[in-house]
Amino acid sequence: MVNTSLAVNKQADDALKVVINEAPLKWCSVSLSDVVNRGKRLEASVFDVEAKQALLAVSKCKYPPSKLISKDGPVLKAHYGARLKRRYVLKSTPGSIGFIGSSEMLDIYPQPIKFMVSNETTNALKVKNGTVLISRSGTIGNVTFVNKTLEKMFVSEHAMRLECGETPGYVYTYLKSKTGKAIVCSNIYGAVVQQIEPEHLATVPIPDAPDDIKKRINDLIVKSYDLRDESNDLIDEATALLIKELNLPPIEEFEVNDFKKNAPVETFNVKLSDLSGRADASYHLPIVDAIIEHLKQNAEEVTTIGDSRISSDVVLPGRFKRVYVEEGHGRVLFGGKQLYELDPSNKKYISSSKHDKRIVEQLEISQNTTLITRSGTIGKVAMVPEHWEHWVASEHIIRVVPANNEIAGYINIYLASDYGHQLITRFTYGSVVDEVDDNHIRQIPIPLLKDKNVQKQINDLALLANQKRYEAYCLEQEALRIMDEEVIFAKQGRT
């Protein structure tokens, strides 16, 4: 009886030691004076733990902070374009300018799908080179730097413009840092559509570092964005070579075999033998047949992406339940929405231990692989730069693993072109969520050029562009490192 009683008591003691691992609840105490100083705001996000820690770090750093927008602050003016009735035009309209939103502005090479004509009203949406842009609604706090590529476009009023003094790159780096972003996001307001206004940024503290540090950081960012411009120019050059070698006219100028000309809707015939088991009209669009026929007439050979000379594999990962972890405890994961970004803004981290086999066999991406979004917005194409090596792309992205580096860049330039996009999206299926799969990608026609030297030149230009993007990423990371180690977390007496 004693032994039994002891056993029961031991079990009871063990039960008391059980620890339930739950997501930690974030909490902090707030004084009444803090509430008053923060505009009598009662939202928990205003007094977020990370934000309080960030504010404390800035207040304790080696260099006394100044207000972001003030007489002595680094930002001279903060504003955003006026809301206006947008009158969109065709891309081919004389004088048309691409219009992008606050999410597309983060892309290395934004590809607008909407266009507007420049006039006294729309000119309010233009941005100046060297301006820092920060998303002010929706997903708040994402920043970019206006370079040669971006200044050619109209940018939505949802991006706030920060016109800075001599070192805009320093402001950009601070706002992009975890500390700066946490402070900015603590100023969010709105129950349905969250926003920030210029007056909320005015009081954001920013360390007033010595001029030499500000200049070092600024120069790194300016050079980083110059390299992005250079990479975009190389891609334009490679695309122009492809178009010239294949004598490709603009998409809208292709002559298509419509059943009835000038009809209110596009009409065309399809032979029963050409149905290929597909009864959806989008699969049989005449423009697709026109492109393929043109390629056959002007290329040495037209093969497919699945050809072993083109790709060693086309991978579509299976769906799975993700186990997310904190940064530093797993592998970087990003989705199709961030595919065009140099450093994906909404990275997540998945457990290496839980998904190790799947990561190695299906999810991990390697340098110079071409990635294609397969659902949602179908046909976004990007090439994996060096810093994405061993990162993980979601299962909504198909991987085209090149046969070798002699064809890797050429594949990317071709599929990213307007003509490649038409051939990708023709396979779209689905009544609710549009999709394509790996079998469709393998069937995409791809031309091999008659002049092998031109094909090599196109390939080399694409690889060089990809290398410049890696270098741009490294420079930005160095600027962020300096901001953290030599400014924000630099203490008194530390050299």
At residue 45, the pLDDT reads 63
Tell me how far apart the alpha carbons of residues 134 and 184 are, in angstroms, rounded to a whole number. Answer: 10
pLDDT digits (tens, 9 = 90+) for 26-58: 666 777 887 787 677 777 766 667 778 888 889
* CA-based torsion, 63, 67, 70, 75: positive or negative: positive
Cβ distance 452 to 459 under 8 Å?
no
In angstroms, the CA 2 to CA 175 distance is: 67
Q: Which CATH entry fits the domain spanning 247-448: 3.90.220.20, 3.40.50.450, 1.10.1040.10, 3.40.50.300?
A: 3.90.220.20
Residues 6+ apart with CB under 8 A from 70: 202
Contact 153, 100 (CB under 8 A): yes
pLDDT 10s digits, 157-169: 999 999 999 999 9
Q: Give the mean model confidence (pLDDT) for residues 383-397.
A: 93
Q: Which class is 32-209 in CATH?
A: alpha beta
> Is residue 264 over pLDDT 80?
no
Residue whose tokens read 């976004």: 380
pTM: 0.87
Instruction: Please write the tens of the pLDDT for every residue from 54-110.
Output: 888 898 889 999 999 988 889 999 998 777 888 899 888 888 999 999 899 999 999
CB 133 within 8 Å of CB 143 = yes
Domains of the chain by residue range? 32-209, 247-448
Give yes or no on whether 32-209 and 247-448 have one common fold.
Answer: yes
15 band by pLDDT with thresholds 50, 70 and 90:
very low
Mean pLDDT, residues 123-132 taken together: 92
Sheet holding 96-100, edge to edge: 114-117, 96-100, 154-155
150-159, 206-215, 248-257, 412-421: lowest mean pLDDT where? 248-257
pLDDT bin (cut points 50, 70, 90) of residue 17 is very low
Which residues lie closer than 8 Å to 77 by C-beta, 6 or more apart? Answer: 69, 161, 162, 163
pLDDT of residue 8: 42
Q: What is the pLDDT of residue 160?
A: 94
Kindly report the number of other CB atoms within 10 A of residue 345's CB atom.
19
Band of pLDDT at residue 493, cut at 50, 70 and 90: low
Q: Token digits for 116? A: 């507007």
